[in-house]
Structure 1
Amino acid sequence: MRRLKHRFGKYARKSGAKPGLQHPYGLEVTCHHMPDWSEQIVQDWFANRAAPSRTSGDRSIHIQRPGVEARELKIKGAGFRGGPIRFGKLLNRGPVFPQFDYDGRRMLDIASSHDGAYEGGASMQQAVTEWRVSRELETLGYDVVPCLGYGSVTDGTHRSWFSVFDWDTSWLDNLDPPNGSPEIYQDLALRSGELTLELAIKHDLIGFSWLVRDADGRKMLKDLHPFRRADEINVSRVSWVMQTVFALHINALAKSVFARNWYGEDALPDAPLWPLWAACPDYTRDEWDKLRFSLVAKFMITDPEDFSAESLQTRLETDRLTRRLLELCPEKFAGSP
């Protein structure tokens, strides 16, 4: 772990600022587990000595690796849309990623969601989880986008976190035409649902993620920060199902949003169902709409005043998707048949 105090502050990348310009707002950057070459790029970025080759999303930048063709370092939590981190300004857009107790009652975990991070940054939980889950899945034999480490940056009052990745410029991530196609999108979406279920059943890792594809068609997991490990002390059969349903539901919502953004409002009406078909291959849009209102809205997004474990159990046994997940839940969790 190394720390480097920068005299180039959080306002250094505003319009008109020049590299090397000193400001009274010093940043201190701490890096964990990174190889030296990647740490140098990170330090240069926060010191305003490096320019991004491109941005992705609201908080990630890519920087060309010096002397290495077609390779970049991606920093997630590098700043808001290629600018500085907005220290002290928390996101407030969700989705909050809840946990569920033995009876299935919602418990909020703000730190794992975007709302626990400053604009342009990440929470400690997001950054550390991304690195640890990536390493574990790689050890288990899964293809993942290499997470090289994580770190934090503080302005002396606030602290924000980030994670770093080795990135190949040929990887297919954004499927907006002409980069991708509906067929490629469906293939990745179906596989993402399969992996969500597989990781929950075989490895007690419950969460949602996305995939990139290389030139040979190999699919690699990315965005692994929303994962948790289920264990027999804290998780029952019902809470395992609730956690897994929520992960699949967020996956489904994401597929619907990106389908509209990339291919048009009505181009891919089944897109939100693709991740759900891993558990229930003929699940319908009507069934998902009913599940969203009867289970997700009532028990996952809000806290019902009249919560009843028996009522929740009935709802889980009524829907085909959740009934199938009750059957797939590993036997070690309490309440499993």
Structure 2
Amino acid sequence: MSTADTSTPGAGTSTVATETRRTPGLVPVTETLRTTERHPPSEPPARGLAMPPTRATWAFWRLLGSELGLTFRRPRNLVMLAVIATVPVIVGVALRIVSSEEGMGGIIQDVAGNSLMLTFASFSFLVLLLMPVAVSVVAGDSVAGEAGAGTLRYLLAAPAGRTRLLLVKYLNAAIFAYAVTVVVALSALVTGLILFPAGPVTLLSGTTISIADGLLRILITVGYVGAGMAALAAIALALSTFTEVSIGAIAGTMVLVIICQVLRAIPELGSITPYLLPTWFTNFDAVLRSPIDTGALGEGLLAFGAYIALFGSIAWARFSGKDITS
């Protein structure tokens, strides 16, 4: 309904048209031509604009820091790190007791002869089973755990994006994998220095090196083994995107590791051994030769990189097109 409101003709004022609009359930609003010109309609915000690079980078690191804080404050993960740190101590004490007997040789003699060798011996015991379990628990729970708890949709509601969130989840699992590796190395090193004599290290090739050189080779071993565990984390992360039950992704990863171990033990299947990830876990013994067998380390790192690229792509393809319902 519209009305015309004109002023008194003698006053010489202009005529202003007014319009009263009624909307069901709302108070009538009278809008004049002057108010319309005074308050022009605002343009709708443009869609598809990305965050500024600085802000996006800050949001990424803040999300990663929050994820790391949750991971390293979780009691379950701390217990796993404590258990893993205890194993080198048990191995060292057992080797110390056994080394007192006559006629002992091999790895027992090597560890008893120098404290640094306990680190390599501990990696030999742990890299094929217990360390993969710890890494699989964190990586397998990364996406499936959020979906099972019903928090994955809320994470995606933030302007982080699926690719960025998946990258944060993987970096978190990879950092935890290196934390597991460092815990093993430090526990074994401290235990070895307490229980066994320190001095020049005799390598597998029979060459003797200094303590400083031995520590450098331990550092190289930590980098190599950590890369192997990061490759395993990529497998667990990929499986985690296919389920909402984290135990399924964890168990699936460990079943794959065990199957690979069984296949490696069958001589007739030697042709497929180079394609199995656990085959390369123990290549860190290349640092115990003089000179260091960089070829063996390079092949292992290449295999780790291939696994990370392959299963990272699978995880991204699955997660980027997944219908998030929880």
TM superposition score normalised by structure 2: 0.25
Larger fraction in strand:
1
Larger fraction in helix:
2
TM superposition score normalised by structure 1: 0.25
Q: State which structure, 1 or 2, has the greater radius of gyration over its C-alpha atoms.
A: 2
